Structures are given as C-alpha cells and as structure tokens.
C-alpha cells in the first residue's frame, strides 16, 4: 500500500514502523483527500510524526476529530481545564516507562492517540512505539497458534507508572488513576478492523491470561511481549517542542523513556474513540469488572 496523490511527503523513520509526514500544516483546514491520505499512511506506517507544528489544544482536538469521534480525556483522570478531550501527560505526575497501549482496560479502547509536545527536556524523554503486527508475524508458528486462542485480562488496577516513593503529587495521581476499577478481557491477538491485519494486543494493562494462573500468565505474557519490544519492531521519536505524534492504538504499543531526571516534560494527549476489539475467532472483548466507560467513549459497548 502506497500513499499517492497528496501534497505531503512520507519519510520512513524506522524499517518496520513510523514515518514522518513532511509538508502539512495541521493548523490548516485540511481537505478530505488529505485526511484520507493521512489515514491510509497511518494504517500502513502505524505511527506518524509531524514536526514543528504550531497547534494549540483546539487545533489538536480538531485534527484528531477528523478521524472519528473523540474520547474524553481519560476514564478516571480529569481533563485539562476547559478542554474535556485533552489529557495532560506530565512528568511531575507519573512516567509511562512501561510498554502499553492506551486505555486497554476498558472494553472500547481508543483507536488512535495523538500526542503533542509542549515542554521537552533538552535530552532524553523519547517515545518508543512498537509494531505489534510485526511482533505477531515474528512469532514461530506454534506460538502464533497459541496466541490466536488465548485471551488476556486488562486492568488499570496495578502498579502502572509507579510514582517515586517520596512524591505526594504522584501518589495522588495514582489514587485518581484507580478511583474506578476496570477489568476487561481482550483477545491476545486482535484483528485490525480496517486492514484485517493481526497483532498482539497485550501491553502493560494485560495482567493475566484468562483461565491461567498468575505465574503461567506472567511467563506467557513476557514471552509474547518480548516479540513486541524487539528493537527491530520499534521506532524511537526524539521530541522537539511542537511535534505531533499520531499512532494507531489498535496495533501498536508505546513507552516513554524515563531518562531525564527531574527535568520537566509535558505533552497533551487527545484520543479518537475506538470500537470493541475482535479476536481471530470472531469473538468480541467483554467487561469483567467496572462500567462500560460511556462517560469516556462515545463507542462504549
Ligand atoms: Fe500512553
């Protein structure tokens, strides 16, 4: 699949995932053809990067909304004041140095995430994004067959984004993060609703395999996750202020590298609502504990 007939250039950033989109000003009112080309590029490259944009919160929300209805900021974390769709990703409150896919603990996780850099440290703080379809293809046949059959429980109630022990602010953030508890069963292999591609749909919120013990679950998840995080399956983005990253949350995981000490880092996140995942056998994800998160996503099951 190649994106053609557009006014922008696509430059691969890494071999298996990620392209920089050059020649688009996201403040402009982009026509439908351009949006369709960006969507096609997202499906192919899975993560797109727009350097040096001059977007504000309104502009970020407007751009994301071209790809579908938006979620609110988060199922449990309050939005930025006055911008119900914007989540502050602030290093002072927590560090997502844990491979994950956004909000997979609800039954309808977002289809895509946009991250806009506002304050970036002079060094470090990169974001890694992994191609979970490439990981699936890398699995030996026997493991692929196992993965196709098993399901995982995802929850927000675990030690994600561990706060530094002495930080009251991060402790308070963690309390808010788990103020409502969610547990959802998703297929370990998700069929992408637009491309039909299969990808490993696990990541940090996946805490156990349905019907297996904690120990067995850990070992299997660690084994599968090792394929997702192979360097060959990742791209690494070095932020500059004003960048926008746009990634397909249905077939990627990401990780915020925590290597910048106490330096400030602030990004704003806006996510596009997504549907209920479907596994290789056609079964849909289901809720085990918690509400349907309809306060969060317009596509609640
Ligand atoms: Fe994230």
The pLDDT value recorded for residue 172 is: 79
Under the banding of pLDDT at 50, 70 and 90, the label for residue 2 is very low
Question: Range with the lowest mean pLDDT among 16-20, 169-173, 288-292?
Answer: 169-173
For the chain, what percent of residues have pLDDT higher than 90? 83
Pair 91, 259: CB distance under 8 Å: no
The pLDDT value recorded for residue 32 is: 95
Which domains are seen in the chain, by residue range?
9-289 (3.60.130.10)
SS3 291: coil
Give the model confidence (pLDDT) of 111-163 as tens digits.
999 999 999 999 999 999 999 999 999 999 999 999 999 999 999 988 665 55
301 pLDDT above the threshold of 90? no
4 C-alpha vs ligand 1 centroid, how far in Å?
Answer: 30
Ion ligand 1 — residues with CB < 5 Å = 102
SS3 195: coil
70 pLDDT above the threshold of 50? yes
3 pLDDT above the threshold of 80? no
Residue 187 half-sphere exposure, CB side, CA atoms within 13 Å? 24
Catalytic residues: 100, 102, 254, 269
272 C-alpha vs ligand 1 centroid, how far in Å?
Answer: 13
255 C-alpha vs ligand 1 centroid, how far in Å?
Answer: 7
77 C-alpha vs ligand 1 centroid, how far in Å?
Answer: 13
């Amino acid at each position: 699949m190649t994106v053609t007939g557009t006014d922008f250039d696509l430059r691969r950033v890494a071999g298996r995932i990620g392209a920089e989109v050059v020649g688009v000003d996201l403040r402009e009112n982009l026509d439908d053809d351009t949006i369709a080309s960006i969507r096609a590029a997202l499906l192919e490259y899975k993560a797109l990067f727009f350097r040096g944009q001059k977007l504000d919160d309104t502009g970020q929300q407007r751009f994301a909304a071209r790809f579908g209805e938006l979620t609110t900021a988060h199922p449990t974390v309050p939005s930025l004041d006055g911008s119900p769709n914007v989540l502050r990703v602030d290093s002072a409150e927590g560090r997502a140095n844990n491979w994950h896919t956004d909000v997979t603990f609800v039954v309808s996780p977002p289809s895509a995430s946009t991250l806009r850099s506002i304050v970036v440290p002079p060094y470090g703080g990169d974001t890694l994004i992994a191609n979970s379809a490439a990981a699936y293809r890398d699995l030996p046949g026997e493991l692929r067959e196992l993965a196709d059959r098993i399901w995982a429980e995802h929850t927000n109630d675990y030690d994600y984004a561990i706060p530094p022990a002495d930080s009251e602010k991060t402790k308070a953030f963690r309390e808010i993060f788990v103020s409502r508890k969610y547990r959802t069963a998703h297929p370990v292999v998700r069929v992408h609703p637009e491309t039909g591609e299969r990808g490993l749909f696990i990541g940090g919120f996946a805490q156990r395999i349905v019907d297996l013990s904690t120990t067995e679950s850990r070992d299997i998840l660690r084994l599968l996750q090792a394929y997702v995080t192979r360097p060959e399956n990742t791209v690494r983005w070095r932020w500059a202020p004003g960048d926008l990253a746009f990634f397909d949350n249905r077939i990627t995981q990401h990780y915020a590298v925590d290597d910048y000490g106490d330096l400030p880092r602030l990004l704003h996140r806006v996510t596009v609502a997504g549907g209920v995942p479907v596994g290789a056998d056609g079964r849909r994800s289901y809720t085990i504990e918690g509400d349907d998160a309809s306060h969060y996503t317009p596509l609640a099951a």
